[in-house]
């Protein structure tokens, strides 16, 4: 997933991290190129660098909250799959994934959902997607 941020509507920066994650830098990228990447589902544009950094920090905190893989396997072996599921669910419940509206289609569908009943929205999706 490629990460972008912008401070205005004219300039977009892509955040690039080295393979060993020891370095990070930003490259200026064309707005239309970034939007095409986002529309394909391969990227996210944040409103500013602070928002991007917050999302990255959040994901790091969430992944660190999970027990080590060895401990998870040990729990499955000794306590069973249901106990393991409870442990993982507790982490997921405490650290839910943030949701971002990505792309024009997502905004359009969310706006339509607000103004329609469930049946109307289902029919709208069938019409728009098929």
pLDDT at site 79: 97
CA 93 from chain centre, in angstroms, equals: 16
Determine the Cα–Cα distance for residues 82 and 76; give it in Å rounded to an integer. Answer: 8
- Higher per-residue pLDDT: 25 or 16: 16
2-6, 25-29, 51-55: the lowest-pLDDT one: 2-6
Residue 13 confidence (pLDDT) above 80? no
| Mean pLDDT value across residues 69-92 | 95
pTM across the whole model: 0.44
The answer to whether the Cα torsion of 93, 99, 105, 110 is positive or negative is: positive
Determine the Cα–Cα distance for residues 5 and 109; give it in Å rounded to an integer. Answer: 23
Provide the 10 A C-beta neighbour count for residue 51: 13
| Mean pLDDT value across residues 55-71 | 84
* Distances from the Cα of 31 to the Cα of 5, 6, 41, 45, 78, angstroms: 10, 9, 16, 10, 53
pLDDT at site 68: 93
**Mean pLDDT (the chain, rounded):** 77
Residue 69 confidence (pLDDT) above 90? yes
32-41, 69-78, 85-94: the lowest-pLDDT one: 32-41
Residue 73 confidence (pLDDT) above 80? yes
């Amino acid at each position: 997933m490629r990460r972008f941020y912008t401070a205005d509507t004219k300039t977009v920066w892509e955040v690039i991290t080295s393979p060993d994650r020891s370095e990070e830098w930003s490259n200026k990228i064309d707005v239309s190129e970034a939007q095409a990447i986002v529309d394909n589902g391969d990227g996210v544009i944040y409103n500013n660098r602070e928002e991007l950094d917050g999302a990255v920090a959040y994901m790091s905190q969430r992944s660190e909250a999970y027990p080590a893989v060895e401990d998870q396997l040990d729990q499955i072996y000794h306590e069973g799959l249901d106990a393991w599921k409870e442990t993982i669910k507790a982490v997921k419940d405490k650290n839910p994934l943030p949701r971002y509206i990505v792309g024009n289609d997502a905004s359009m569908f969310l706006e339509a959902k607000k103004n329609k009943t469930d049946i109307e929205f289902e029919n709208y999706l069938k019409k728009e997607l098929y």
